[in-house]
Amino acid sequence: MDLKPGEFRAACRGCHGGCVHVLSVKDGKVVGLRPDKDAPLNQGHACIKGLSIIEQMYHPDRLLHPMKRIGPRGSGQWEQISWDEALDTIAQRLGELRKNHGAECISAITGTGRHLVPYLWRFTRTLGTPNITSAGALICLGPRKNAGFSTAGAYSCVDYYGDTKPECIVVWGANPTVSGADGELQWHPRRCAQEGTKFIVVDPQKTEIAEKAELWLRVRPGADGALALGLLNIIIQEGLYDHEFIDNWTFGFEQLRDRCTEYDLTRVSEITWIPKEQIRQAAYMMATVKPMALEWGCAFEQSYNATQTSRAIYMLPAITGNYDVPGGFVEGKHIAPTKRDPIDASPALMNDFPYRSLKPYAHPHQILNAVRTGQPYKIRAMLSFANNSIISLPDSKFVYESLLRLEFFVCMDIFMTPTAAHADIVLPAALWPEVDCVFCMPEFSEHTVLCQQKVVQVGECRSDEEVFIELCRRMGLDYGAESQQDLIDRELENMSSRFPEMKGLNFQKMKELGYFTPKRSYYNYKKRGGFNTPSGKFEFCSNEIAQLGGDPLPFWQEPPLTPISRPELGREYPYILMTGGRRQQYFISNNRQIKSLRRQYPFPLVRMHPHTAAENGVAEGDWIYIRTSRGQITQKTKLEPDMDPRVINCDFGWWYPEAGAPDYGWHESNANVLTSSDNGCDPYMGSYQLRGILCAICKNEDCHIEQRYYSSALYAKTPVDPSDCAGSKRRAGNF
């Protein structure tokens, strides 16, 4: 696509990223956006989050200047300051803390994947603290990523990009047409469905893609691991596996076969609530419809069995002969390893779990507990980047109280959030059209190199990377780069050393291109003579996990907070709750103040079967209380006739900008008020159990959330179409 004067290509980061758009700039302001029809991942499409970027950038409530707290923490009293004062204050406070208490008293926290993550790693290691933390490493991609690397030495994804299309896609614990979480997923499943690909969907709720699926397996929340092992058992016992692959390229098949006999069809049906005939049908489809690929999400990662469930599911494409084949479940290219190991990554001290993420994150609960107890040492300061901890971390009350006890708290974000409102210094963060960056997507499967580029300056907003470099300079520390440009050029040089077709590709050229896709190859394990594992084979029996003292074979066990494991608790809390509902308009806790998006989906919805609602005196549209042993929130009822009457699903990430400072209604509808951070964790990685927990419901007779919204300045009485302000007509379509 040729560019006109004043037009620039840039990759959107409204979620993890991957869609390339053409931005129109006039008089120093972005005035239009259209999706690049030639871009390899979005192919001319855009979601409503990306289309709303102009509204986001020039929103009247956006943070535009550094601010410091002048009243008590959480008082909402702020004073605008200069960048020099903000950076000098932060550098001075961190320097004093390092000198008096050691660098380990400082922690940094980040949220889901953004451009800043690898550079925050470099920053914390330069400071000398191992205490970087993120919940994402535990409940969003981390267990899946580790499953791939400990089993096959690689992470894999669906081959949407080659000449051979997938004939079958297993969508497990994901809703790709809504969330598009890993960089490209919204458009390609739609195209595959239109072209006749068969889908098997594993999900407690009938998603949009499940409506069109050949087979929908309505699994009990938290029982995914048992289902995966049951499917493996059928495939093995009935000889449906790929004998050539098993005989020549795998390790531990006999042990896996013996383990899977514990998961016979009758037992698995009882555990999962799925009829036997559906489980058998799914096993035969996976084994016989080729090529088959796996599209998986974070639902089963947010559970007590996260690690072993991820490994069992990862084995299904391999055992059926669909691993790294055209149109199948293909290995990532590993284009940009510099994003994973920019500096020495010494082990995090506050992580008691034996099988950690490949990046040694500290565990968020242990960091916050160290703020409160001083054990194993006291965390005194925290730097938060792209993270709304009070909303995104489990046990929100515990998080809130912990943040209040910090001696020094810095938060960098785009808008004032419930978390930023309790900081000492708040820094204004740049949005994606204001940031220079090169990155790869899909996440960890790395199909394409993409370019963000700064095309405008809004207020005094800066990129997080600039802040890391400048803080190190003011503290007399060697960050290892003088500018963001240095880091980008170094990354591109590293990529070109392994991909000759990228030779000579510098940042200036990347800005012109917008993206670059190295050629994909298949059957890479055959070409290199094996897998990047200790045995050189695809490891059903993991040597890495065995060395860590864990069970090298996948297994499933009943989580600690279910009606089966805790029947007495089940009598008080009779329903099984999922807390992961996501909508197209939002990404985690973002965008609740964006009018065009909020109008489309103004309130959090809790979904349940009509019988469940009726037995609690609840009707469609009623606000209800959802209660667990941890707390109580309220959301608006949506009836779903296809749901199991024993299951309830509430929306995630909710807070209310219109509720005002300092709390912004973080406690009203926030699903993490209901969750726990100190029990029910996966024993290998520490993943939280956020799904499959016990709850009760009752009608909320006196809710004022709707009235507050409709009477606020946030409510736009005239509907706003985000495509109008973005100058685009090509949006996400339906099936």
- Per the CB < 8 A criterion, the answer to whether 633 and 669 are in contact is yes
Q: Which of 3.40.50.720, 3.40.50.970, 3.30.565.10, 3.40.228.10 would CATH assign to domain 156-331?
A: 3.40.228.10
Highest mean pLDDT among 111-120, 468-477, 512-521: 468-477
pLDDT band (50, 70, 90) for residue 337: low
Q: Provide the token pair at 440.
A: 């790869």
The top-level CATH class assigned to 567-722 is: mainly beta
- Whole-number Å distance between alpha carbons of 179 and 585: 9
pLDDT band (50, 70, 90) for residue 678: confident
Q: Provide the token pair at 720.
A: 């706003």
**In the predicted model, what is the mean pLDDT of residues 527-538?**
97
Smallest CA-to-CA distance from 139 within 706, 710, 713, 676 is with 676
Give the list of residues 6+ apart from residue 275 with CB closer than 8 angstroms, or none: 269
Which helix H or strand E contains 35, and what residues bound it?
A: strand 29-35
Smallest CA-to-CA distance from 337 within 463, 497, 467 is with 497
Across the chain, mean pLDDT equals 91
pLDDT band (50, 70, 90) for residue 485: confident
Give the list of residues 6+ apart from residue 346 with CB closer than 8 angstroms, or none: 125, 130, 360
Collapsing DSSP to helix, strand or coil, 691 comes out as strand
- AA identity, residue 597: L
DSSP state of 153: S
- Whole-number Å distance between alpha carbons of 180 and 201: 16
What integer pLDDT is reported at residue 178 of this predicted model?
80
**In the predicted model, what is the mean pLDDT of residues 436-464?**
90
CATH number of the domain located at residue range(s) 67-139+336-431+464-481 in this protein:
3.40.50.740
What integer pLDDT is reported at residue 725 of this predicted model?
40
Tell me the sheet residues that pair with 516: 449
- 647-651 and 605-608: which strand pairing? antiparallel
pLDDT digits (tens, 9 = 90+) for 361-381: 889 999 999 999 999 999 999
pLDDT band (50, 70, 90) for residue 584: confident
Which helix H or strand E contains 60, and what residues bound it?
A: none
Phi-psi region of 493 (alpha: psi -120 to 50; beta: other; left: phi over 0): alpha
What percent of the chain has pLDDT above 90?
73
pLDDT band (50, 70, 90) for residue 728: very low
**In the predicted model, what is the mean pLDDT of residues 480-502?**
87
CB-facing half-sphere around the CA of 324: CA atoms within 13 A: 23
What integer pLDDT is reported at residue 717 of this predicted model?
65
Task: List the beta strands (DSSP E) in 91-230.
Answer: 106-110, 132-133, 156-158, 168-172, 198-202, 215-217
Q: Provide the token pair at 582.
A: 């996501």
The pLDDT of residue 460 is above 60: yes
Distance of CA 199 to the CA centre of its chain: 23
Distance of CA 432 to the CA centre of its chain: 18
Give the list of residues 6+ apart from residue 373 with CB closer than 8 angstroms, or none: none
Q: Which of 3.10.20.30, 3.30.200.210, 2.40.30.10, 3.40.640.10 would CATH assign to domain 7-62?
A: 3.30.200.210
- Whole-number Å distance between alpha carbons of 659 and 661: 7
pLDDT band (50, 70, 90) for residue 729: very low
pTM above 0.75, yes or no: yes
The pLDDT of residue 336 is above 80: no
- Whole-number Å distance between alpha carbons of 206 and 465: 41
**In the predicted model, what is the mean pLDDT of residues 242-252?**
98
Backbone CA torsion sign across 509, 511, 514, 520: positive
- Whole-number Å distance between alpha carbons of 558 and 567: 12
Domain residue spans in the chain?
7-62, 67-139+336-431+464-481, 156-331, 567-722
Tell me the sheet residues that pair with 413: 428
**In the predicted model, what is the mean pLDDT of residues 338-350?**
48
**In the predicted model, what is the mean pLDDT of residues 419-430?**
97
The pLDDT of residue 349 is above 70: no
Q: Provide the token pair at 344.
A: 């020495």
The pLDDT of residue 345 is above 80: no
pLDDT digits (tens, 9 = 90+) for 609-639: 999 999 999 999 999 999 999 999 999 999 9
Collapsing DSSP to helix, strand or coil, 452 comes out as strand
DSSP, residue by residue, 12-26: --SSS---EEEEEEE
What integer pLDDT is reported at residue 359 of this predicted model?
60
Phi-psi region of 196 (alpha: psi -120 to 50; beta: other; left: phi over 0): left
pLDDT digits (tens, 9 = 90+) for 293-309: 999 999 999 999 999 99
What integer pLDDT is reported at residue 356 of this predicted model?
58
**In the predicted model, what is the mean pLDDT of residues 411-440?**
96
Collapsing DSSP to helix, strand or coil, 7 comes out as strand
- Per the CB < 8 A criterion, the answer to whether 517 and 43 are in contact is no
Whole-number Cα distances in Å, 342 to 404, 470, 480, 490, 606: 32, 18, 10, 10, 42
What integer pLDDT is reported at residue 319 of this predicted model?
98
pLDDT digits (tens, 9 = 90+) for 137-177: 888 888 998 999 999 999 999 999 899 999 999 999 998 88
Give the list of residues 6+ apart from residue 408 with CB closer than 8 angstroms, or none: 93, 94, 97, 380, 381, 382, 424
Highest mean pLDDT among 36-50, 312-326, 562-576: 312-326
What integer pLDDT is reported at residue 357 of this predicted model?
52
What integer pLDDT is reported at residue 110 of this predicted model?
93
- 605-608 and 329-331: which strand pairing? unpaired
Whole-number Cα distances in Å, 190 to 46, 186, 198, 734: 13, 7, 12, 7
The pLDDT of residue 730 is above 50: no
- Per the CB < 8 A criterion, the answer to whether 243 and 249 are in contact is no
pLDDT digits (tens, 9 = 90+) for 642-663: 999 999 999 999 999 999 999 9
**Cβ density class 221-249: b for 16+ within 10 Å, e for less:** bbbbbbbbbbbbbbbbeeebbbeebbeeb
- Per the CB < 8 A criterion, the answer to whether 557 and 305 are in contact is yes
Residue 45 or 651, more confident: 651
What integer pLDDT is reported at residue 142 of this predicted model?
87
Collapsing DSSP to helix, strand or coil, 342 comes out as coil
pLDDT digits (tens, 9 = 90+) for 79-134: 999 999 999 999 999 999 999 999 999 999 998 777 888 899 899 999 999 999 98
